[in-house]
Chain A
């Protein structure tokens, strides 16, 4: 089955540590996104990538980094510079390869819940 996987489901980190969240998709989508979700605040865009080896900052990129070395993978690193990293992180992808791709929705992974101890 095609889809997006995120691992791990739950992650615990000590203050001062960097941690990397995995996101893999086999949908053959070019575009991928990372969101942070906090209670009552909806989804906020951290980083996005429209194509391999290229990515752009979203609205809340400070304290985060990403890479896009493969089409299928878009890992997110939460660095020690992120002051309040405890949140639910969602990865998504979108098909941009068709003529009506503007209407295409984002497909979401199951999320990773990060807790800083």
Chain B
């Protein structure tokens, strides 16, 4: 069975500061990992995904994530936060052997202070 844990339901940073959103996963098979962003009352949008080609994955809007197998982590980072980054972020793990169903973390709400 797969699971995802996002540490910290709320993260607050100042504009221009480093953003770090934590995600740890549990999977019995090589994981397929994703980060999505959700703005209020909207659907989810893909930020980036891990496809095993490289452990450091670059996504949209300046975000990147590093896959660390030894730590079973896939933390999301951005060097400098912008006001427009304020949103809810979801980490997800997908099981290709089970209809590609994804298990989502509970989400982390990012607040950016001016």
Contact = CB atoms under 8 A, between A and B. Distances in A.
A110 B43 contact: yes
A28 interface: no
B60 interface: no
B26 interface: no
B100 interface: yes
A114 interface: no
Contacts of B34: 105
B65 to A, nearest CB: 14
Interface residues of B, number: 23
B49 A105 contact: yes
Chain A interface bracket (under 10, 10 to 19, 20 to 34, 35 or more): 20 to 34
A43 B104 contact: yes
Contacts of A103: 32, 49, 51
Q: Which 9 A-B pairs have the closest CB atoms?
A: A102-B96, A108-B43, A42-B106, A43-B104, A108-B44, A103-B51, A42-B104, A105-B46, A110-B43
Given A33-B101, A102-B96, A105-B49, 12 more contacts: A31-B100, A40-B9, A43-B44, A102-B94, A103-B51, A105-B34, A106-B102, A108-B36, A108-B45, A111-B41, A111-B42, A111-B43
